[in-house]
Structure 1
Amino acid sequence: MSPPSDLRPYLRTLDAETLVDLLHGHAERDPELRHSLELRAATQSGDVSEAHRLLDTAVTDGNGEYTAKVGAVLDTLRRMLDAGSRADLAPLARRTVDDISAVLEQSGDHAGDLADRLDRAVELYARACAARPPDPEKLADWIIEVEFDGPGRPVIDLAGFAGPLGEPGLRRIKSTVDDVLAASGPGHRRDVAERLREQLAEVLGDVDGLLAILSAKPPSRDVSLKIVRVLRAAGRHSEAIAHAARALTHDKNGHAQTPLKPPEDDEVSRRRKDFDARPDHETYAALREAATTTGEWTAQRRTALARLRELAAEGVEQADELTRVLLDEGRPDEAWRACVRFGASPRLKLELAEQRAAEHPAETIPVFREHVEELIEHKDPQAYREAARRLKLLRTLHKRSDTPDEFTAYLAGLVETHRRKTRLITEIRAARIALPKAVTSPRTPR
């Protein structure tokens, strides 16, 4: 079966009114798309009141409609965070987490689409807190309440909230964890406290404390591998090798079977080694897949992205890799900013500009102008025809950006520069672009 054709070239031939009718008709049949478009319109200026209104009405809907509305709110949160919105999005993100948790508790169904949306909501809340940090102790109190008194979901990863919590918030959580461990016997609260104690040791960089916690656990392959990874990350390589050599797995009868493989044989370690040797979007994707399976992706992602950002300043190829990684992560606005800031390749820049032109016309104008000049330099009829098509797009983008006079001036300068290229002038006329009156056509085509 052949892959579906790319419809974008065809869609570009349609006028705006036809596209509006098509999109509106599809939105009427797809509740999630409709809610997403409603929120895009309402939050264009940074106002999040429409998202709150949607949550107000969502609880009265059926499960499918509720899931769609929550999905639309999450899409809006992600879009505004990616765009660097100045709005304080933390209250909306936190409310979304709390609302989904309440619905899941009532339904008792902790699997499926809504549970996945809860995980997304927590991740977005962490991002919103990082962008506009709330009171750290109040944030700590919320995490404590969710973890110790909640229904068991969501499970908070302290690494994502470490920055906004800061020392005051982390100290508050640690105090509660210590109190629970001192007072509680076996049960839910103690299990939560032990998990948070381990996370606190990781976040605070308490290597010896973390090793003590891990060593106190029942022996297992996973625990031993984590001890080895912690030692390696701390630069204590000889200890890591010694532990790997000593560690053994046992069967039910306690018989030694296979020595624990060195950390290099662990899947995440191998993928990390591949990424460190060749940091690009392919090795990043492989690392993400392996680390997501073991629950290590939050920490791995942070260091991998930092490495890609560091390399992006060194050249076009490296800038392309960072941009593609951000695209793969579903963060198009961040990808665009990286593309512009670090100077990605013209081809990739054009690819992103085509994706952004509809919503951000002014941002993409310089990219399409560069592309027009590049096409003209080819000096062949097909390239001239494509240049004229791009000029038509530029006219539309300037009009939508309320800068039509700039296009007129730009076109006049371009035509004056290339006035002897009669084939180009012919193609511009064929595209029904009005030329400056002073333009004349030399007799010899070029």
Structure 2
Amino acid sequence: MSLTTDLRPYLRSLDRETLAELVHQQAERDPELRQALEARAMAAPGDLAEAHRLLDAAVTGGNFEYATKVGSVLDTLQRLLDAGSRADLAPLARRTVDDIIAMLEQVDDASGMVADELDRGIELYARACAAHPPNPEELADWILAVEFDGLEIDLAEFAKALGDKGIQRIKSTVDKVLAKGEEDVRYRTASRLQEELAEISGDVDALVAILSAKPPRLDISLKIVRVLRGAGRHSEAIAHAARALTHDKGPARAPVVDELAETYQEAGQTDEALTLRHTEFERKPTLESYSALKEAATESGQWPAQRKAAMALLRERADSDVAVADELVRILLSEDRPDEAWRVSTRYGGSLELRLQLAELREVDHPVEVIPVYKIHVDELIAHKDPLCYREAAKQLRKLRTLHKRADVAEEFGSYLAELVETHKRKTRLIAEVRAARIAIPKVAKG
């Protein structure tokens, strides 16, 4: 038998007594092995043995059965880690993760069940390593092998267990891959690891340099701003965010705007924060930008004047932009001004969804005003020619009947319904849903 032969299949073929005797003899000669076995024996040996047994049996089932058995193993690991077990759980966690990775290479995990357990397994392995750090260089080699095989691991979770030696080993390999300059999968993996290593080390300048070398994108700029802000380098964060916003006017800029405004506030530059929020609101007046403007203006004691200007801008643009009219309605509703919101909706129009929301708020006290909105909704539902929409239309007809009665115009509902049925008399499913809603169907003239 060669030295490279995997002995595990042979060892698994042995009966328990023989295997126990072999291990015991070796433990008598190896103090480290004996200490490790004693630590395992002190914390739920039955649980660990059962976990290994489940792993042995897991490969014989399908995806669901495998995920269930592995889930039980991970439950055991989590319970022992949460309980502060003194046992070294890293070997079991490592074996579990390796088994899941091997399983994913063999099966089609369309449901994502096995992949979910892998994420959980890696997290538990990191915890187990932090409690009982393995050889740091061996752990580093395992992480590198898994990473370059296409699986992403959060280095920060393993930083404690890796220590300086493990981190240096990873850095050495990453530097060698990057030095080759070959733009391939390994290069991209090494680039990501280089970034994570800089984050772990807390080297702000190195991290900013790495991020700045990437193609310009708002998400990269956002990360740079956060790194600088976290280091208390507010002036640099402000300058970088301002440059990024100058070159990008799309919706993805919102997080950078938020970060810049918060950095202004931390630096005591409240006027600059307010100016930024006002500019963003003018650029795109929405409930979100209005709320941000309100917060900044309130903090600087300028909200009354800012609100007046904001409302004037909203009303001016609502005349020609239905989307702005909708935002104005949402803003008024957020300020608990439903009557004003209704007037705006009536004047400028807007989405049916918002008008229905307003109608629900108004129907108790003003049934006559909301009846037209629900009629529009019924027409829209019928136009879909879908059974579920027909059922919803019938529910809305019941509401319309109630609203007409409450408004003392019940006869108008009868005329409306007769016309509706005449128009859609060939839609038998619709007529059936109306009957099921216990609405009397007027006689339809033949024709």
TM-score by length of 2: 0.47
Higher radius of gyration, 1 or 2: 2
More helix by share: 2
